[in-house]
Amino acid sequence: MIASIKYKSQTLKVDLSKPLDLSIPLRGGTSNVNAWYVAPPTIGPHREEGFVGSVTEGGSVNFNDIHFNPHAHVTHTECVGHITKEVHSINDHLNNYFFWTELITVAPEKQGMDFVISKKQLQYALGAKKREAVVIRTLPNTNEKYNRQYSNTNPPYFLEEAIMYLRDKGVEHLLVDLPSVDREKDGGLLKAHKAFWNLDGDIRFKATITEFVYVDNSIEDGRYLLNLQVAPFENDASPSRPLLFGPV
């Protein structure tokens, strides 16, 4: 299905029949991606007296209980409620689902004992481009990201200056293939999260951060139409399925 979509003064053709899925699926067990020192997710038949939710075990239907944490176990999209005392739900704050986005690839730089993404790198990759959303693929990029165990590994993260640059550039939706935009152990400072949502100023309630995406190497850098699908959870974060269409 080819759709004609207006972008500024252009009319662009987008093939909606060929989505590029950036999500990491949730599966039970230790093969699932994991971070933040939590146990693996579990998926299994519900059991109570006289009932088992498994056809193979004699039940009439498959009826599974699922236990997981969206921040630790799956591609997820979060709102400012992730870091505020006040309760804010992603289901309330994200109510548009299509955005023009730029996909860029960045190799984190060594800084002391860490690998970081700097403002200079993002300036080089984005240049004068103005986008509602940015997807960032980090190198090295292997399918190990589908099941990597990130706890106590000090993954790459964004310097505060880099996130401020994206915010000031007008980026409303940031998608990354990392467990967090912040350092794994930063003493609770969360400088990148706070900078993106402008927590000390005019808070950007409509802005979102999506973590744990996976961008296959076959997908070229460039401009895409993003469909950011989010499960309707009344929570600061929800499992999500970002789809790219293009490039356009």
Q: Give the pLDDT of the chain (248 residues) as one tens digit per residue.
A: 888 887 777 788 888 999 999 999 999 999 999 999 999 999 999 999 999 999 999 999 999 999 999 999 999 999 999 999 999 999 999 999 999 999 999 999 999 999 999 999 999 999 999 999 999 999 999 999 999 999 999 999 999 999 999 999 999 999 999 999 999 999 999 999 999 999 999 999 999 999 999 999 999 999 999 999 999 999 999 999 999 999 99
Per the structure, the complete domain to which residue 63 belongs is given by: 27-69
Let me know whether 33 and 147 are in one domain.
Answer: no
**Number of domain units in the chain:** 2
DSSP secondary structure letter of residue 91 = H
Question: What gap in Å lies between CA 66 and CA 42, rounded to an integer?
Answer: 6
Residues 117 and 225 placed together within one structural domain of the fold: yes
CATH number at residue 180: 3.50.30.50
Other CB atoms within 10 Å distance of the CB of residue 48: 7
On whether the CB atoms of residues 195 and 72 are closer than 8 A, the answer is no
| Domain co-membership, 8 together with 56 | no
Tell me, yes or no, whether 91 and 212 share the same domain: yes
194 and 130 belong to one structural domain:
yes
Q: Is 208 found in the same domain as 220?
A: yes
> How far is CA 88 from each of CA 71, 136, 175, rounded to the nearest angstrom?
16, 25, 20
- Per DSSP, the residues of 180-216 read -SS-SSSTT--HHHHHHHTTTSS--TT-EEEES----
Angle at the Cα of 115 from the Cα atoms of 32 and 180, rounded to 5 degrees: 45
